[in-house]
Chain A
Amino acid sequence: MTGLLHDARVSRGQFLRMMGGLAVAATATACSTRPETTATTGGGATTELKFIGVADQKAPMDELVGAYQKAKPAVRITASYAPTDQVQTSLRTQLGAGNAPDLHVVYPGNGSAMSMAQIAEAGLLADLSAQPWAATVPAGFRPAFQLDGKTYIYSAGSSVIGAVYNKKVFDKAGIDAPPTTWNEFLAACDKLKKAGVVPIALGAQTPWVTQLITYALVPSTVYAKDPTFDDKQLAGQATFAGSGWQDAMEMYLELQKRGYFNDNPNGTTFEQQTSMVAGGKAGMAVQVSAVLPDFRKAAASPDDLSMFPVPGADDAGSVWIPAGVVVGLGAAAKGRNVEEAKAFIDFLGKQENINAWAKAISAIPLTQDDSSTIDPAVESFLPFTKDRAVPFMDQRWPNAEVQPVHFAVVQELLAGESTIDEALKKMDEAYRK
Chain B
Amino acid sequence: MRKTFLLEIVMIAVAVAFLFPVYTLVSLSLKDPGQISRSPLALPDPPTLDNYGSAWTAAALGPSLVNSTVVTVASLVALIALGSFAAYFLARVRTRLGYGLYVLFLLGIVLPFQLGMIPLYELVNTLGLIGTHAGMILFYTGIQLPFTVFLYTGFIRALPREYAAAAQIDGASHLTAFTRVVFPLLRPITGTVLILNAVFIWNDFFTPLVYLGGSGFETVPVSVFAFVGQYVSQHGLVFAGLVLGAVPIVVVFLALQRYVIKGFASGLKG
Measuring CB to CB, which residues of chain A are less than 8 angstroms from any residue of chain B?
A: 24-25, 27-29, 31-32, 50-52, 54-55, 58, 78-84, 86, 89-90, 93-94, 96-99, 101, 270-271, 274-275, 279, 294, 297-298
Known contacts A97-B125, A279-B37, A82 near B229 by CB under 8 Å: yes
A90 and B235 form a contact (CB under 8 A): no
Task: Give A279's nearest chain B residue, CB to CB.
Answer: B37
Other than the given A28-B119, A90-B206, 9 more pairs (CB < 8 A) read: A25-B122, A32-B122, A50-B214, A55-B226, A80-B213, A82-B229, A86-B205, A97-B118, A271-B233
A28 and B230 form a contact (CB under 8 A): no
- With both chains docked as a complex, state the minimum distance between the C-beta of B124 and any C-beta of chain A, in angstroms: 9
Interface centre among B122, B209, B213, B232 (most CB of A within 10 A): B213
Residues of chain B with a CB closer than 8 A to A98's CB:
122, 125
B85 located at the interface, meaning its Cβ lies under 8 Å from any Cβ of chain A in the complex? no
> Measured between alpha carbons, how far is A320 from B210 in the docked complex, in Å?
41
A90 and B209 form a contact (CB under 8 A): yes
Interface size on B, residues (CB 8 A): 30
> Measured between alpha carbons, how far is A58 from B226 in the docked complex, in Å?
10
Known contacts A50-B215, A82-B225, A90-B213, A97 near B121 by CB under 8 Å: yes
Contact of B33 among A52, A78, A298 (CB under 8 A): A298
26 residue pairs from A and B, CB less than 8 Å apart = A28-B126, A31-B125, A32-B126, A51-B214, A52-B213, A54-B229, A55-B226, A58-B230, A82-B209, A82-B222, A82-B225, A82-B229, A83-B232, A86-B205, A86-B206, A86-B209, A86-B229, A89-B206, A96-B118, A98-B122, A99-B121, A99-B122, A101-B213, A275-B233, A294-B233, A298-B234
A29 and B206 form a contact (CB under 8 A): no
Main secondary structure of the interface of A (DSSP, over half): helix
A83 and B122 form a contact (CB under 8 A): no
B229 and A83 form a contact (CB under 8 A): yes
Contact of B123 among A28, A89, A101, A298 (CB under 8 A): A28
B233 and A81 form a contact (CB under 8 A): no
Contact of B119 among A25, A50, A78, A80 (CB under 8 A): A25
- With both chains docked as a complex, state the minimum distance between the C-beta of A276 and any C-beta of chain B, in angstroms: 9
B214 and A93 form a contact (CB under 8 A): no
B234 and A83 form a contact (CB under 8 A): no
Contact of B225 among A79, A86, A270 (CB under 8 A): A86
Known contacts A93-B118, A271-B235, A279-B37, A99 near B213 by CB under 8 Å: no
B230 and A81 form a contact (CB under 8 A): yes
Task: Give A53's nearest chain B residue, CB to CB.
Answer: B214
- With both chains docked as a complex, state the minimum distance between the C-beta of B32 and any C-beta of chain A, in angstroms: 12
A101 and B122 form a contact (CB under 8 A): no
B22 located at the interface, meaning its Cβ lies under 8 Å from any Cβ of chain A in the complex? no
Q: Mark B183-227, 1 if CB is under 8 A from A, else 0.
A: 000000000000000000000011001100111101000100110
Q: Mark B221-251, 1 if CB is under 8 A from A, else 0.
A: 0100110111011110000000000000000
> Measured between alpha carbons, how far is A99 from B123 in the docked complex, in Å?
11
